Amino acid sequence: MSKRNTSGFVPNQLLLDIASLNAGNLSAIETIAATQRIAQAAAKGTVRYKIAKGASERQIYTAGNASRLPGTKARFEGDKATSDNVVNDAYEFHGKMRDFLLQVFKRNSIDGAGMNLIGTVHYGKGYNNAFWNGQQMTYGDGDQQIFATFVLIDVIGHEMFHGVTEHTSGLEYSGESGALNESMSDVFGVCLRQWANGHDVTQDSWLVGPGIFTSKVKGAALRSMTAPGTAYNDPRLGKDPQPDHYSKLYTGSSDNGGVHINSGIPNKAFATFAIAVGGKSWDVALPVWFESNCGANRVGPNADFSDFAKKTVDNCTKMFPQHVAALKSAWNGVGVTV
| Long-range contact set of residues 251-255: C-beta below 8 Å, sequence gap at least 24 | 254/13, 255/11, 255/12, 255/13
pLDDT higher than 50, residue 2: no
Every domain of the chain with CATH number 1.10.390.10 lies at 175-333
Q: What is the pLDDT of residue 27?
A: 81
- CATH fold, domain 12-166, is Elastase; domain 1 (3.10.170)
Known active-site residue 176: no
Instruction: Tell me which of 94, 122, 162, 260 is the catalytic residue.
Output: 260
Cα separations in angstroms, 302 against 172, 221, 315: 6, 29, 19
Q: What is the pLDDT of residue 30?
A: 81
What is the distance between the alpha carbons of residues 107 and 113, in angstroms, rounded to a whole number? Answer: 8
Average pLDDT across the chain, whole number: 93
pLDDT higher than 80, residue 34: no
Q: What is the pLDDT of residue 53?
A: 59
Cα separations in angstroms, 1 against 115, 164, 263, 301: 16, 10, 21, 9
Measured in whole angstroms, the distance separating CA 104 from the mean position of its chain's CA atoms is 18
Instruction: Tell me which of 30, 57, 159, 291 is the catalytic residue.
Output: 159
Domain covering 175-333 in this structure, CATH number: 1.10.390.10
Every domain of the chain with CATH number 3.10.170.10 lies at 12-166
Known active-site residue 260: yes
The region that residue 270 occupies, defined by phi over 0 for left and psi between -120 and 50 for alpha, beta otherwise, is alpha
Q: Mean pLDDT across the stretch 101-129?
A: 96
Q: Which amino acid is at 78?
A: G
Q: What is the pLDDT of residues 38-93, one digit of tens each?
A: 766 666 655 555 565 589 999 999 999 999 999 999 999 999 999 999 999 999 99
Q: What is the pLDDT of residues 281-294, one digit of tens each?
A: 999 999 999 999 99
Q: What is the reported pTM?
A: 0.94
Percentage of the chain beyond pLDDT 70 is: 93
pLDDT higher than 90, residue 3: no
What is the distance between the alpha carbons of residues 329 and 334, in angstroms, rounded to a whole number? Answer: 9
